[in-house]
Structure 1
């Protein structure tokens, strides 16, 4: 049976986060209450190198399985794009959480790879200092970095893969994390421009913004990435290669509506120029 050592790199960093249970098909994301918390963690997190450890809470209400409480449940690798949790969960799963806890954990980093920690080792034994920090108010809902000594204890823990049935949306977001970092930044910029344009539509601001419709943030990421690939990175108007990294704002990638009379930014009405 494999151990944590078999998947870790020499410079891998491990983070602990308090969770109600292991990652699952019902909740295949690492969630945060505040978007800025998710963004700050994602900024320093290295995909395929760093890992997050789910640590079961001590509450019998929040962590109903006795063998999950105060133990190390699983290791996960996550994507670096934060998305609204509601957009990846089933409607039933999200409504149940809101009903019981209110609107919390609104922002998430999708999990793309996960491993169960066999026999759920004791958090107090493997990572006593980090486990203690998880209970402090300033670390509530945040990830705590394990010390070198704690990582040494963790490395020989046995693991086995968790097969997650990822949704199409999560798979689409996963595709965005592979490849050119500059392209990812440009797609992120375009998504924000579209969302801001849609938010301003119909509001007075030195004139009238025409009503516009937009897909969700997650679906825009997927659509723009798909459109880039379909166009092979070339301008839809002139056919020339679109520069991904340029200091000239006039040469930056632009997302245009094919039919300007149709105010929707959606599949079939968007192109990159």
Structure 2
């Protein structure tokens, strides 16, 4: 059933996916230009991996647009079966409501991986277009500090992948639960827009809120100890953020995803299917 649901979802949303990747390509070019302004010294060259990991930590992209785009892609993953009146048949084929519900959750996980890989490929494409070198001196603090402790690029990519997938899955489950609770999906968009704005504010203007802003968790450059290198002395007080590490973020995201999954299951289990058809 997972494969069936995935193909149905892809057929329904592939145009949205193309639009999303098109906008992300445009945003990736903006990220390249901002990288030169933020951390690349004058007359220096932006390195490939500096650019990639900066883009994955760019607040405008990953805190504001990632949640909105992912909401755009998967918000109606349950509603579509009610809209086309196929819910009774798909529930029968699934065997039980829990199998149906958990299969949809797996589709969200698969969609998160496609989203991550798609964005990564876009970044590589932009790097190729602008001929960014692979080897050389790194200036992005997260990459530079990781190299100093002998953590290679592969390790950074694995951690970034795990962090991004957990982040997207937690948001995806949250959005779909909202779609089950509210009669209109537009309400889910409004909630996501508000929380994305709050997360952006935490990253850009009030870092003391970082440990409490799940929508800001994917900005790994603001995890401790990388945060120490991202701010100038005296600009922010980060002494209370020493526990805001990648391990803390992953743990909170995992607990949040499981909790939201359980809440969503409770909501779906008590849903009256007959009234939705």
State the TM-score bracket (shorter-chain normalisation). under 0.3
Larger Rg: 1
Higher strand share: 1
